[in-house]
Structure 1
Amino acid sequence: MPLRGSGDTSGAELLPALFPVPDPATPAPARRAPAGPDDQTRPDPIATDSTAPAVPGDPAGRARRVAAEEAGKQLVFFGAETAEPTLADLAGLLAGPAEVVRMGGTARVSVVVDAAWRVHVLVAELAQRGVAASWEPTEDERHAVRTAYARTLKPLAAAWLRGEAKRPPTNFHLNGRRLRLWLAAAGTPEPSGFLLRLGPADEECRDPVGRALVAVGLAGDLVTAEAGGPGYLITGRRRLRRLAELVGDRPAAAPENAWPTRLP
């Protein structure tokens, strides 16, 4: 019998056991975006605190900058940690290999993933958005993750489907929350960078998705199926740092080498 669940890993029907089940404790609360449209990060509470102690021989305030780094990472405008999760974030899955189908006045999103940890992360992310999910093993030893059919997903299907074909809407864009879902479903570390995989038959999506990556500072090289894709390979220290900032901290279920690291 296929394994199924609704996002609660503490129930009798467990997630795939190929990776340790993460602690289902209450997730950290989402943090709001900076108030001003020109702000790229939140103000540094230590660097702006005139009472913070100075260190002799450090007129530039190096000690305060170090203390700020130790106190916590700054948030990036449009990053995954700057706003509440919403159903619109599922567009990030559709930018990758996910599919959306309609049934009557409802719709469902599904994606096949190659590792059990991805199931854990996606089910938790979907639950944060009020979406029930189920999963089952596939014949090729992967995992199919599916949302329930829901009326709330109908607008997503209407925006992305042209008949039965998937195509990004004209106003499609990426942000940290959408990239986080895409990476959780189909992001793969490579020796030269990070590969964000696309659907094998989604040729009409490739150019719009590529432009959306460029718009958030993640211009990537399109990798063909023959070369290990299809997908966009993000390379370069600056772009990889940007990717890590946008997608946020590594989920508890993800292996360390499977998630981009925030570089200094």
Structure 2
Amino acid sequence: MPLSGSGETSAAQPLPVSFPVPDPASTTARRVGRRAGARPVGPDLVPGGDAEPAVGDRQLVFFGAETAEPSVADLAGLLAGPGEVHRMGGTARLSVVVDAGWRVHVLLAELAQRGVRATWTRTEDQRYAVRTAYTRTLVPLAAAWSRGPAQQPPAGFQLDGRRLRLWLAASGAVDPPDFLLRLGGADPGGWTVVGAALVAAGLAGELVEPGAGGPAYRIAGRRRVLRLAELVGERPPAVPPDAWPVRD
């Protein structure tokens, strides 16, 4: 079911709907307003300092999703979770299977912001597969995560707000009062690298083993959940209110 780079789909192949469809115009207006009110963020701006950019009565979190323009490198957040990357010749494609229609809406919008074409299909187990087109744009990402036939995080892998936002959109799940960030694959070594990146981001999580409902990292405690909310930014319009961490 091909989509354009803007995330649009034909009337014959509507996006899955189990919630109110977001209004693209209002979403764009909020995004433009946010960018217009923010000052540039650079390495000399210290978190919490007077130079930290602000939007309205909220301060933007250093390394948060709202502090920089989206880039293709952010898609590493999907690979930290259940996303997979495949190479073909001089191109690569990223795919991820999600369990809810709202995740399809959010991911297609996020991919479109980065100029990446995508499609979606329903899977046999009534989930949704989101796939990008094969493109040279994704080759550096694929190369960084490829270890022969295996997919592993690169050494020194880091997580920022934009990567965490994509991971949360693809496989984050509320488990009151905590949040789970679900993992993919079956490589404990890769999970350890991702866990170290969470620690570096101020989100030390507890690894939930596959037999106990994982694999996933549990972000527990009010302070860490608030930190997660600050990093991933405001809830996309398509997301149910109880499925996204709140900054208040």
TM-score between both structures, scaled by the size of structure 2: 0.89
Partner residue of 1:37 out of 40, 44, 51: 44
Q: 1:8 aligns to what?
A: 7
Give the match's secondary structure for 2:95: strand
Residue among 104, 116, 132 paired with 2:101: 116
Residue of structure 2 in register with 1:222 after alignment: 207
1:106 aligns with 2:91: yes
- 2:237 maps to 252
CA shift for structure 1 position 243: 0.3
- Cα distance change of structure 1 residues 234 and 33 upon mapping to structure 2, 3 Å threshold: farther
| Change beyond 3 A, Cα 1:166–1:200 | closer
Residue of 68, 72, 83 corresponding to 2:68: 83
SS of 1:179 mapped into structure 2 = helix
- How many corresponding residue pairs? 238
Structure with bigger gyration radius: 1
Matched to 1:172, the amino acid is F
Q: What is the CA distance between 1:40 and its match in structure 2?
A: 1.0
| Percent of matched pairs sharing the same residue | 63
1:134 corresponds, among 116, 119, 128, to 119
Distance between the aligned counterparts of 2:91 and 2:103, measured in 1? 25
CA distance in 1: counterparts of 2:170 and 2:234, whole angstroms? 16
Q: 1:166 to 1:32 in 2, by over 3 A?
A: farther
Which whole-Å CA distance do the structure 1 matches of 2:110 and 2:202 have between them? Answer: 24
Would you say the 8 A contact 1:106–1:151 is kept in 2?
yes
Residue 18 of structure 1 corresponds to 18
Q: 1:202 to 1:146 in 2, by over 3 A?
A: farther
Alignment match, 1:61: none
Query: What whole-Å deviation, never above 9, does each CA across 1:151-184 have from its counterpart, x for those lacking one?
Result: 0100000000111211011131000000000000
Q: Is the 8 A contact 2:3 2:9 kept in 1?
A: no
Residue by residue over 1:204-227, the C-alpha shift from the partner in whole angstroms, topping out at 9 and shown as x without a partner, is: 310000000000100000001111
Gapped regions of structure 1 (runs ≥ 5): 46-67
Corresponding residue to 1:159 among 144, 168, 185: 144
Normalised TM-score (structure 1): 0.84
> 2:19 touches 2:240 (CA, 8 Å); kept in 1?
no
Among 147, 152, 168, the alignment partner of 1:183 is 168
Tell me which residue corresponds to 1:232: 217
Instruction: Name the SS for the 2:238 alignment partner.
Output: coil
